[in-house]
Structures are given as structure tokens and as C-alpha cells.
Amino acid sequence: MAREPTRFRNRTLAELPLFATDEELGEAVLGWERRKQFRPLAELHERSGFPAIHPAWGGRYVPAVKQYLDHMYALVERIPFAPLGKEGAFHVERKKPVRAPVKHNAGE
């Protein structure tokens, strides 16, 4: 039976690639012993804006994961993600311009 190598320290978020697997993120966030608990927690928090696994890159975007966790613990002012369905300013309803009424002089 193969033993896993002895680990002297956990990896940090700064040491991970830009797109990391849940196991890599789990080690950086929860530690080596609890790394496998990360995936169900991440899936639970995806509903509230936690970065999903990108289908092309095969991992979660690490800076966005850090930003989400920093926001969760009030280390940043606001979360940079747009709410669902609000990708840009083009979804904002525009007000119709209000035109000043034209005054007509009856004596002219």
C-alpha cells in the first residue's frame, strides 16, 4: 500500500495556477487534511456567487475565489461580480429624455 508523502506545509493561494482544481484550492483554503471537503462547500456557495469551474480551463479562477472569500469576511468593500442576468450597463433601463414645453407667444 503506497503512502502519501509527508507534507511539511500547505500550499497557499499565491502558489496555485490561475485555474486550480478543487483539491488544490481545498489544500490552500482548508489545509491538507480537509482538502476533500472543499468541493461540496464550493458547490454550495456557487449559488451566492462563488466562482464555478470553467469548462475550458478545468478549474476555478483563483483570484476570483480569493476575492469571494475576502468579501465574505468583509475584507473588501463589495464583490466584483454582477448579479445574474446583469452582465453590463447595457441592461440598465434608460429614461426617456424630458423635453421642456415650447412656449408660444399669442401676440406675435
pLDDT per residue as tens, the chain (108 positions) = 555 655 568 899 999 999 999 999 999 999 999 999 999 999 999 999 999 999 999 999 999 999 999 988 888 766 555 555 555 555 556 677 777 777 777 665
Q: Which residues contact 36 (CB under 8 A, 6 or more apart)?
A: 23, 26
pLDDT of the residue at 77: 67
**pTM of model > 0.75:** no
pLDDT of the residue at 48: 92
Amino acid symbol at 94: R
- Separation between Cα atoms, residue 7 and residue 49, nearest integer Å: 32
pLDDT of the residue at 12: 94
CA nearest to 25, candidates 37, 14, 38, 34? 38
